[in-house]
Structure 1
Amino acid sequence: MTSTTFRIGGDLDVRRLGFGAMRLRAGPGPAREESLHVARRAVELGVTLIDTAHMYGWGANEELLAEALHPYADGLLIATKVGIARSAEPDGWRHDARPDALRGQVEHALRRLRVERIELLQLHRIDPRVPLAEQLGALRELQAEGKVARIGLSEVTVAELGRAREIIDVAAVQNRYSLLDREHEPVLAACEAAGIAFLPWRPVAGGTPGASAVLAGVASELGATPAQVSLAWLLHRSPVILPIPGTARKEHLEENVAAAGLELTPAQLDRLDRLSGQA
């Protein structure tokens, strides 16, 4: 039986299957109303970890969550991320982890989320133009001021995680990872060894036809969907994994949350584990 909860930073209990708010649409109209319903439904279903970021709508996603959920239920963690700024570059964003920029984004997040302290703040990306000690030092200062409780990282290597841990206590790491995308397996191993929460983004990803067929076969045996099996595998894979699947549809949300109740047999786990070379 897999554990259903994890203690982030050693002191903050959350249910392991969370919700990624990135896909919620914050513009005016029916889509926004649906997004508000989805966020509220997530909490009704027992989700206690919701992930957002300054980058998601440049603050609009944080404001949407506050409108939907404030005042927050006891035990609900809304984690956000900073360190990315809007730009005219082709991707529409750029790294910006200068201390003043990080402080500004944190101040905006506090206001938008209507809180006095962010319980889990993640550096969205390490800025290659700013010394790591300056980036993390700024977050550590905000932590000392009581504006941030725990600090996490996103998209880091094992070496970067190691250097960061010399400067701050790392409570969480958010890297891309899934059943069919295990590039960051070494980072997961490092997090597990240190008791650091590992939040895989894009936790459900497609693979080769052969891998998809195996996944579909296991799903059929369980009367579940391939996405549910993918999420259940993550929960079985390591006790530090906290998947944060995202959706803008209530039906899809309910399907994702139900994945926490799936129990995979040893034989099914073995078949899925062996897909690592077929992604």
Structure 2
Amino acid sequence: MRYIKLRDLEVSRIGLGAMGMSQGYTGSGTDDAESIRTVHRALELGVTLIDTAEIYGPYTNEEMLGRALKGRRDKVVLATKFGLVSHGGEGAWNLDSSPANIRTAVEGSLKRLGTDHIDLYYQHRVDPNTPIEETAGAVGELIAEGKVRAFGLSEAGPDTIRRAHAVQPVTAVQSEYSLFTRGIEERVLPVLRELNIGLVPFSPLGRGMLTGTVRSTDQFDENDFRRDNPRFTGENFRRNLALADEVKALADEVGARPGQVALAWLLAQGDNIAPIPGTKRVARVEENAAADAVTLTAEQLDKLSSLPPAAGDTHTEAQARMLER
């Protein structure tokens, strides 16, 4: 595994997203033992960047990672997120990035994760009711106290990134970015490059479709959020399967798995990009980590870049209202 810098934070080029171990996908939360084995195998393979959030569960994902990382904390660049749980009474899935809420959130995350510091602390979604300068300042205080090492933003737009960075340097921005989802390229990526801010793409495998293993929504259980995701419904799903087949055809030429080719394309987009493909299975984390060794030619990269965009929005209308672009 090779390593890169997200600003001053050194991480593995390929990280591990932990959300699906606890929520969102078919089988989530049903086998913590396998999830913990997956975390341990990732560490053996040189993966250091592991990503979670207090909202995942809520709370259960951080608790599971706390158990998985016991005795292994020094091998991990641990990232978690605040701002989608309002601890003042409104509860989960309510935006709150006020300084008081951040104070409550960080103490809970530290306890659940079994650590005295968080390496990368992200605002999960921009809170329109709290000036970003106040949020950045609050995280800056936590950095000064040693409870947090670095500040991150998730799904933030260019203006928010600039304003936050002026108060507290932003180490990384986490956004959905993949062959299927390229909306950040026009406005967000140039700002990150200008300010030397790293990019951490989530859902880099198109929520599973770019692996070539998703062929029917009948594969999803009733709790799988993809059941009502626009990209997985009707004609959109059929069009996106055809795109995934094109990625598979190129992967066959390369002698790699489709998901590995999708990750290799992402890694070729910059020197400070660290995707966090999510999985709860040992075999899949082995496959994802091996993508670090896949090299694509300029012609192959151009072919992938020229694929048409995926059909359908990547979020439901309610989810999309929490995003900045």
Scaled by the length of structure 2, the TM-score of the pair is: 0.78
> Any conservation in 2 of the 1:174–1:201 contact (CA below 8 Å)?
yes
Q: Which residue of 1 aligns with 2:201?
A: 200
Q: Which residue of 2 aligns with 1:33?
A: 33
1:211 matched to 2:243? The reply is yes
Return the letter of the residue paired with 1:194.
Answer: L
Return the letter of the residue paired with 2:3.
Answer: T
Q: Which residue of 2 aligns with 1:256?
A: 288
> Any conservation in 1 of the 2:155–2:173 contact (CA below 8 Å)?
yes
Q: Which has the higher contact order (CA 8 A, sep 6+)?
A: 2
Pick from 4, 8, 11: which aligns with 1:14? 11
Is the alpha carbon distance of 1:28 and 1:136 closer, same or farther for their aligned partners in structure 2, counting shifts above 3 Å? Answer: closer
Larger mean CA deviation between 201-210 and 101-110 belongs to: 201-210
Deviations 1:159-184 (A, max 9, x none): 11111111110000001110121001
Cα distance, 1:210 vs. partner?
Answer: 5.0
Residues 224-239 of structure 1: pairs in structure 2 closer than 5 A: 224-239=256-271
1:24 matched to 2:21? The reply is yes
Counterpart-to-counterpart distance in 2, 1:229 and 1:195: 26
Return the letter of the residue paired with 1:179.
Answer: L
Counterpart-to-counterpart distance in 2, 1:30 and 1:212: 28
Cα distance, 1:277 vs. partner?
Answer: 4.6
Return the letter of the residue paired with 1:189.
Answer: P
> Any conservation in 2 of the 1:179–1:276 contact (CA below 8 Å)?
no
Cα distance, 1:208 vs. partner?
Answer: 3.4
Return the letter of the residue paired with 2:274.
Answer: L
Counterpart-to-counterpart distance in 2, 1:215 and 1:114: 40
Cα distance, 1:225 vs. partner?
Answer: 2.0
Is the alpha carbon distance of 1:56 and 1:29 closer, same or farther for their aligned partners in structure 2, counting shifts above 3 Å? Answer: closer
> Any conservation in 2 of the 1:45–1:257 contact (CA below 8 Å)?
yes
> Any conservation in 1 of the 2:79–2:121 contact (CA below 8 Å)?
yes
Counterpart-to-counterpart distance in 1, 2:183 and 2:28: 38
Counterpart-to-counterpart distance in 2, 1:278 and 1:95: 29
Look up the SS of the partner of 1:259 in the other structure.
helix
Q: How many residues align?
A: 275
Q: Which runs of 5+ in 1 are unaligned?
A: none
Q: Which residue of 1 aligns with 2:315?
A: none
Larger mean CA deviation between 242-251 and 200-209 belongs to: 200-209
1:46 matched to 2:52? The reply is no
Return the letter of the residue paired with 2:131.
Answer: P
Counterpart-to-counterpart distance in 2, 1:40 and 1:152: 25
% same residue: 42
Counterpart-to-counterpart distance in 1, 2:103 and 2:244: 44
Q: Which residue of 1 aligns with 2:307?
A: 275
Scaled by the length of structure 1, the TM-score of the pair is: 0.90
Counterpart-to-counterpart distance in 2, 1:29 and 1:216: 30
Cα distance, 1:47 vs. partner?
Answer: 0.4
Deviations 1:8-46 (A, max 9, x none): 332x32111000011113999961111111111111111
Larger mean CA deviation between 172-181 and 73-82 belongs to: 73-82
